[in-house]
Structure 1
Amino acid sequence: MPQHFLLSPKAKTLSLVKIMRMSEEEARKAFQGLRWPETDGEPICPECGCVEHYDLKTRPVWKCKGCGKQFSATSGTTFHSRKLAIRDILAAIAVFINGAKGYSALQLSRDLAVDYKTAFVLLHKVREAIENAREAGALKGDVEVDGAYFGGYVKPANERKDRKDRRKLENQTGKRQVVVVVRERGGRTVTSVGKTEAEGVQLVARTVERGATVHADEASHWDRLAAAFPIKRINHKEAYSKDGACTNQAESFFSRLRRAEIGTHHHIAGAYLGAYAAEMAWREDNNRVANGYQFVMAAGAAALGGKSERMCGYWQRRA
């Protein structure tokens, strides 16, 4: 029997030990190489683009000869204004990558001996960076669409006589959200968060190329897709795959997201649900990519991306 890719040596090219044995200077050089590959890691001023600079002896920063601004290796990146050592940030990205079903902020806070909020913000910045760096463009070929609900859990009463029908709107919390996934077979995965699964019709219209074949279940709102796309429907009461129609890859995404919710994070609802969904979409799309290359992708996305729009105001309670 052939060995599964994830168990093979080709899948394991990232060494956390090597990262933790780096000095801070070596880690900074590595980050510079990811941020400024065109100059082989030599600093470029993020304000004016000048390559001429002074090295400050008191701190690991530079002063631009063009505009006079001081900047560091992380200035203007996803980790702008960071306080953690760059080696610790690279180590955090490494353990984030190796978590097949995600990596919790509580566990990272223990691993790095930092406050929970520090770990929480750091991981969300990594999620935002990889989400922003993902390839754009319309999905083609065979595309699967489905939705699943998260959050808004209502705990049932202890005694049977006190329990209410949680399917009714008046007995719900109003916090329930749906993640809609549109997944190209052998290609990319796109996610969106909304109140109802029917909002996925517009998501398909925005992200799927005309002429692509859409696979969906028997939910009535997907009927509207037939006016614009060739569509195949699958009735899950009869089978999971029949006559070439199935949504198994969309279900695979939800399986990973559910396992991340149940086994790793325990709570992924609310304002951050979209970030967790985007992370799992990225993991699904790269599940046959060596972890060393995934690390370069994530660290490079953070180095080349701008300041975090979602998390930069977290400490001022704006996020």
Structure 2
Amino acid sequence: MHAAGRSGKGRGQHFLLSAAARRLSVAQVARLDDDEAYRLFCGIRWCATEGEPVCPHCGCVAVYRHAKRRIFTCKSCVRQFSVTSGTMFHGRKMPIRDLLVAIAIFTNGAKGHSALHLARDLSCQYKTAFVLAHKLREALGSETKTREAMGTIEIDGAYFGGYVKPANWRENRVDRRLAKNQNGKRRVVIVMRERGGRTLPFVVRHEVQSVETLEKRIRPGSTVHADEARSWDALYYAGIDVKRINHQEAYSDGEACTNGAESFFSRIRRAEIGMHHHIAGPYLNDYAHEMAWREDARRIDNGTQFLLVGLAALIHPPSTRWKGYWQRAKRIAPS
């Protein structure tokens, strides 16, 4: 718990309850007029030039401004572009102010925000909100998919999807470890969490299949903390310095601890149970990266989070996964 403030009784106050966590409200964004929303959008897209347009094709800052339309013509390559050209919002139909409101709503969800709620908040079709939310998740996760972990790293794995737990009656109990009682849809989220650094997840079918990826994405000289699962035994043979903790005996023994990784999985479970209810299949990787970002940004005020999400979407190229999704032009490949 972060002691960002003190309550009247002297107890530590959770950061999300403090005034420091509140720097932006959805009402503030919704009250922007079209010109104000457009200037804010330009300021996020071209923050390095204080909102002045930069050609996405050649990088030239000398442009012609069109009086009747919000587009620009580059003086160097003579190509036209807009504030959303070459971004995740390329070809958008939703007004810019509504996009900003959507980003604010998405950001303010401590446990995520469902597409159904987003569709009601924006008064748009569920399909529109579904794709928009997943585009934001893709943008947030794009920079961490190939990033290497370093320093002291906690690793762990947790299975998601493929099974809805029934009421705990004796006659319903079956051994879900047996292949005959599985539907083949379960996937495991593997997390590499740097202490004092980033949270880097990825998805595999079985925990043991993650070792090859871990070898590639853990920098030499790092120290890895893992639990007693036999899947991690192969890390010793890869020459990685591994410290183990047996969770059947303790959660920390002074030598090894994976509580940071467990905290990340707790956030995903809360999002699954309390918000999305189903985060399995080909979308599991997107939800994992979203929750990793939320875990890393949990001490950042929501105004800064809003700018970070907007910037991530505006520097990300058009999505090849979600463009034309509902027309089946592109299908989402399984993770």
**Alignment TM class, shorter chain as reference:** over 0.9
Q: In the comparison of the two structures, how many residue pairs are matched?
A: 319
What TM-score does the superposition give when structure 1 sets the normalisation length? 0.92
In structure 1, the partner of 2:236 is: 226
In structure 2, the partner of 1:142 is: 152
In 1, distance between residues paired with 2:193 and 2:252? 16
What TM-score does the superposition give when structure 2 sets the normalisation length? 0.88
Pair 1:201 & 2:211 matched: yes
Pair 1:300 & 2:318 matched: no
Structure 1 position 51, deviation (Å) = 3.4
In 1, distance between residues paired with 2:267 and 2:168? 31
In 1, distance between residues paired with 2:235 and 2:168? 44
Pair 1:6 & 2:13 matched: no
Q: Deviations over 1:198-229 (max 9, x none)?
A: 12222321222222221111111211112312
SS at match of 2:29: helix
- What amino acid does structure 2 have at the position aligned with 1:118? T
In 1, distance between residues paired with 2:173 and 2:263? 33
Percent identity at matched positions?
A: 56
Aligned equivalent of 2:272, options 231, 243, 261: 261
Q: Which structure exhibits the higher relative contact order, with contacts defined as CA atoms closer than 8 Å and separated by 6 or more residues? A: 1
In structure 2, the partner of 1:243 is: 254
SS at match of 2:92: coil
**Which segments of 5 or more consecutive residues in structure 2 lack a partner in the other structure?**
1-10
In structure 1, the partner of 2:5 is: none
In 2, distance between residues paired with 1:157 and 1:187? 39
Aligned equivalent of 1:46, options 45, 56, 64: 56
In structure 1, the partner of 2:322 is: 311
In 1, distance between residues paired with 2:245 and 2:51? 52
Q: Is the 8 A contact 2:156 2:191 kept in 1?
A: yes
Q: Structure 1 residues 93-102 or 133-142, which shifts more?
A: 133-142
In structure 1, the partner of 2:33 is: 23
In 1, distance between residues paired with 2:65 and 2:12? 54
In 1, distance between residues paired with 2:145 and 2:274? 29
Q: Deviations over 1:243-277 (max 9, x none)?
A: 32121111111100011111101111111100000
In structure 2, the partner of 1:125 is: 135
SS at match of 1:246: coil
- What amino acid does structure 2 have at the position aligned with 1:128? E
Q: Structure 1 residues 169-178 or 271-280, which shifts more?
A: 169-178
SS at match of 2:236: helix
Q: Structure 1 residues 190-199 or 67-76, which shifts more?
A: 67-76
Q: Is the 8 A contact 1:31 1:303 kept in 2?
A: no
* Distance of aligned partners of 1:75 and 1:315 in 2 relative to their CA distance in 1, 3 Å threshold: farther
Please report the RMSD computed on the Cα atoms of aligned residues, expressed in angstroms: 2.3
In 2, distance between residues paired with 1:33 and 1:254? 35
Q: Is the 8 A contact 2:203 2:284 kept in 1?
A: yes
Structure 1 position 58, deviation (Å) = 4.1
SS at match of 2:93: coil
Aligned equivalent of 2:69, options 53, 59, 69: 59
In structure 1, the partner of 2:86 is: 76
In 2, distance between residues paired with 1:17 and 1:163? 49
In structure 1, the partner of 2:7 is: none
SS at match of 2:157: strand
